[in-house]
A and B are shown apart, each in its own frame.
Chain A
Amino acid sequence: MKPASFEYVRPETLNDAVRALDHDDAKIIAGGQSLVPMMNFRLVQPERLVDINRIEALTPIVQTDSGVRVGALTRHVEAECHPLLKEHFPIISEAMACVAHVAIRNRGTIAGSLCHADPSAEWPLLLIVLNGEIEILGGAGSRMVTPNEFFLAPLMTEIAETELVTGVHFPLPPFSCGMAFEEVSWRAGDFAVVAAAALVSIKRDRFAEVRLALGGVFDTPVRATALEEGLVGQSANLDEIEAVVSLAAKDLEPNDDPHASAGYRLSLVPVLARRVLARALERAAS
């Protein structure tokens, strides 16, 4: 239960970080809340550990022309409490309250969670429902990646080992919109069995835009596109949500695992979909 030996490098600039990552077997440590357990179990034994915690360029949360840019090293607790995020994306605060426990939220980071890519985790789901994009830096420069491109499979992303996430961009949400998040887990702080996040906007009493993202039901978090398409243009009320809610589980084929059977996960989908859509609608209307 102790990590194997590694070379420790602590760059203070992004350039130095990229140089440090130019190595056959380097691994980045940010909050370390998923990585260090895996190192303690020796499931991961990097030759070089690149600690990015002293790179100031990775910390700020700033307003941009199109939305908000959240620095890669933003801790869950900072995202939970940040006024800019609370103002534009109250769903982030709502979801952060479900991330593990106080001590983990004090240390874990947005980029760490995204790169760990657990299909039940909160940040990947938020990224999808908020149409966020991931900013990645490597030797060849900086690039932006959508969640669809980024998440490949459980614990697998398309980022190269020589690259690092520098930030996440969340575009401003549409007008007259409401958002909601909810998950089912066995105990407080456990990974979700199923998690759901919704964003709806209303125009002239009809659903103008509907986004429903689901976690824990597939290899990566997914959008329930059949339900979304069925709801857009309909009258903005609970009856219309009820009419399409069974579509939320369309085409989903979750796996059985020790936490829950596939059947139980599928049965949770319409329940959570109904709750988050109804709450998002209520918030959009008020």
Chain B
Amino acid sequence: MNGMTHVTVTINNERHDVKVEPRMLAADFLRDELGLTGTHVGCEHGVCGACTILLNGASVRSCLLLAIQLDGAEIQTVEGLGGVREMHRIQAAFREHHALQCGFCTPGFLMTVHDILGRLPLRSDEEIRDALSGNICRCTGYDHIVKAVRSLVTERDKVTNQ
């Protein structure tokens, strides 16, 4: 398979049948082929976390995945969370707590938070910071991001404790 190869992938609940070159990165595929530019590309070598997406529910770097490897997978990008009119509760918490400044890192943070909120206890701010350590915010607005996540954890644990 050197040339264009067929890939079937479900992205934000929508099925796509497309042809890709094997060397195309998943991040470039989402942005350049599908126009889903909410996924941001920062470092292109797995360090900054801006391109984080959900692959079958787990957060992964889309710059370290090949588009061809998405075949058969369920992908969620920031566009699948919600939009301006109908924000996901994670997005709403980020807005409420001023957890973004320039916004470049935000899509990656949102997808990471989606993953960690679903499966980690996140009992302390230290645990939240550790779980977020793979995402870099160059505006250094970490305090507000941690506050947003803390509020989401509080909301989540109230629900699960009932």
Contact = CB atoms under 8 A, between A and B. Distances in A.
A102 interface: yes
A3 B133 CA distance: 26
A49 B68 CA distance: 12
A40 B24 CA distance: 10
Interface in B1-57: 1-2, 5, 21-23, 25, 28, 44-46, 49, 52, 55
B60 interface: yes
A5 B52 contact: no
Nearest to A7: B2
A189 B133 contact: yes
Contact of A106 (B46, B60, B130): B60
Interface string A104-129: 10110000000000000000000000
Contacts, number: 94
Contacts of B52: 103
A23 interface: no
A69 B23 CA distance: 33
B61 A1 contact: no
Given A189-B133, A189-B134, A104 B46 contact: yes
Interface of A: 1-10, 29, 32-33, 36-37, 40-41, 49, 51, 53, 77, 100-104, 106-107, 187-189
Given A2-B23, A37-B64, 6 more contacts: A1-B45, A8-B66, A36-B66, A102-B59, A103-B112, A106-B55
5 contacts: A5-B2, A5-B21, A102-B134, A106-B60, A107-B61
Interface of B: 1-2, 5, 21-23, 25, 28, 44-46, 49, 52, 55, 58-61, 63-66, 68-69, 112, 115-116, 129-131, 133-135
